[in-house]
Amino acid sequence: MTGFGHVRGHHHHAPHDRIDAALEGSVQGLRTLWFSFGVLAATTAVQAVIAAASGSVALLGDTVHNAADALTALPLGLAFLLGRRAATRRYTYGFGRAEDLAGVFVVLVIAASALFAGYEALRRLFEPQEVSHLAAVAGGALVGFAGNEWVARARIRTGRSIGSAALVADGLHARSDGFTSLAVLLGAGGAALGWRWADPVTGLAITGAIALVLRGAAREVWHRLMDAVDPTLIDEAEDALSHVEGVRAVGTVRMRWLGHGLRAETSIVVDPALTVMQAHKVALAAEHALMHGVRRLSTATVQIHP
């Protein structure tokens, strides 16, 4: 082993603080998810009744998408619950990866909703059908926008508060869905002018919007599964370590997300004349600097090289 091997620094009170913060984050996340589920379920129910009565395929596509969004709360909620479990001898890093697996399920649900909405829009384009109750369709579009925007604000606020990239992404997804709901108004307006193709064309536009959301969500999940992080976080870590007294050079910094927090591993070069205890103190200072200098960092491992 090179140098003195692996030395982990610890705050004298940081571990308990990090555990408490993780538990509190899970509680907040679960509360927001159940709130989101309730709002979107109610929104979907209202839109489903109007879509069935009016025959609007655009509103049907928006309804299906909102239903899919409501269902994403279930795997994310389960992931938050699993993430609260302590590490075991088999799962030595805990269960934070459950959130990434939930992200895969979310992507599959979004893909399924896009396929269904696209199929219905194409079918209605080749088999035109009159759309009735246009005022109700417009009202359903506004309900969809309001419900999604309400959910989006709650998810984004909580996600940023607890450091959940999945919850923030889901909030941005809901916000884009809100504007997609407004597109239904265009279809209703076209139908009111006698343009029979307006509703299915709007349905196809909504399908395209869902596909764009799918692309972004899939990219986000891919990054998490492949342990990608924002390069600015590495810059923050290197800057924090470079200002620690006793650190002559900083080696490679590696980070990965685990649940709502980041894990960091790095090495530092110290004076070879230092005693083991003195080198250990430098490692503690380095870990302290990392914990305070990097956003969302929950654990840091520092290796010493003389």
> Is the residue at 93 inside a domain?
yes
Helix, strand or coil, per DSSP, at residue 93:
coil
Residues 196 and 243 in one domain: no
> Is the residue at 195 inside a domain?
yes
Does position 247 have pLDDT exceeding 90, yes or no? yes
Average pLDDT, the chain: 82
> Is the residue at 37 inside a domain?
yes
Does position 12 have pLDDT exceeding 50, yes or no? no
Does position 9 have pLDDT exceeding 60, yes or no? no
> Is the residue at 22 inside a domain?
no
pLDDT mean over 59-81: 82
Residues 244 and 181 in one domain: no
Instruction: Name the domain boundary from 195, 225, 255.
Output: 225
Torsion of CA 8, 101, 158, 37, to 10 degrees: -160
pLDDT tens for residues 94-103?
Answer: 888 888 888 8
> Is the residue at 4 inside a domain?
no
pLDDT mean over 155-165: 80
Does position 239 have pLDDT exceeding 80, yes or no? yes
Residues 137 and 104 in one domain: yes
Residues 60 and 138 in one domain: yes
> Is the residue at 162 inside a domain?
yes
> Is the residue at 193 inside a domain?
yes
Instruction: Name the domain boundary from 192, 210, 225.
Output: 225
Please name the residues in contact with 286: beta carbons below 8 A apart, sequence gap of 6 or more.
Answer: 9, 241, 244, 247, 266, 268, 300, 302
> What CATH number is attached to the domain comprising 119?
1.20.1510.10
Does position 59 have pLDDT exceeding 90, yes or no? no
> Is the residue at 84 inside a domain?
yes
Residues 117 and 151 in one domain: yes
The residues pairing with 262 across neighbouring beta strands, listed in sequence order, are: 257, 297
> What CATH number is attached to the domain comprising 283?
3.30.70.1350
Residues 51 and 178 in one domain: yes
Residues 289 and 171 in one domain: no
Torsion of CA 105, 108, 110, 111, to 10 degrees: 170
- Reference 266, options 251, 277, 278; nearest CA is 251
pLDDT mean over 206-229: 85
Q: Residue 20 has what pLDDT? A: 39
Does position 137 have pLDDT exceeding 90, yes or no? no
Q: What total number of domains does the chain contain?
A: 2
Residues 53 and 145 in one domain: yes
Backbone dihedral region of 296: left (phi > 0), alpha (psi from -120 to 50 degrees) or beta? left
DSSP string over 195-221? -TTHHHHHHHHHHHHHHHHHHHHHHHH
Residues 200 and 110 in one domain: yes
Q: Residue 249 has what pLDDT? A: 95
What confidence category does residue 269 fall into, taking pLDDT thresholds of 50, 70 and 90? very high
Instruction: Name the domain boundary from 166, 201, 225.
Output: 225
Q: Are 97 and 258 in contact (CB under 8 A)?
A: yes
What confidence category does residue 244 fall into, taking pLDDT thresholds of 50, 70 and 90? very high
Residues 209 and 107 in one domain: yes
DSSP string over 4-29? TEEE----SSHHHHHHHHHHHHHHHH
Residue type, 13: H
The residues pairing with 268 across neighbouring beta strands, listed in sequence order, are: 250, 304
**Residue that is written with structure tokens 């839109």 in the block:** 47
pTM comes to: 0.73
CA distance 272 to 263: 27
User: In terms of residue numbers, what domain contains 236?
Assistant: 230-305
Q: Residue 166 has what pLDDT? A: 67
Residues 271 and 204 in one domain: no
Higher pLDDT: 33 or 164? It is: 33
Q: Residue 233 has what pLDDT? A: 94
Residues 65 and 191 in one domain: yes
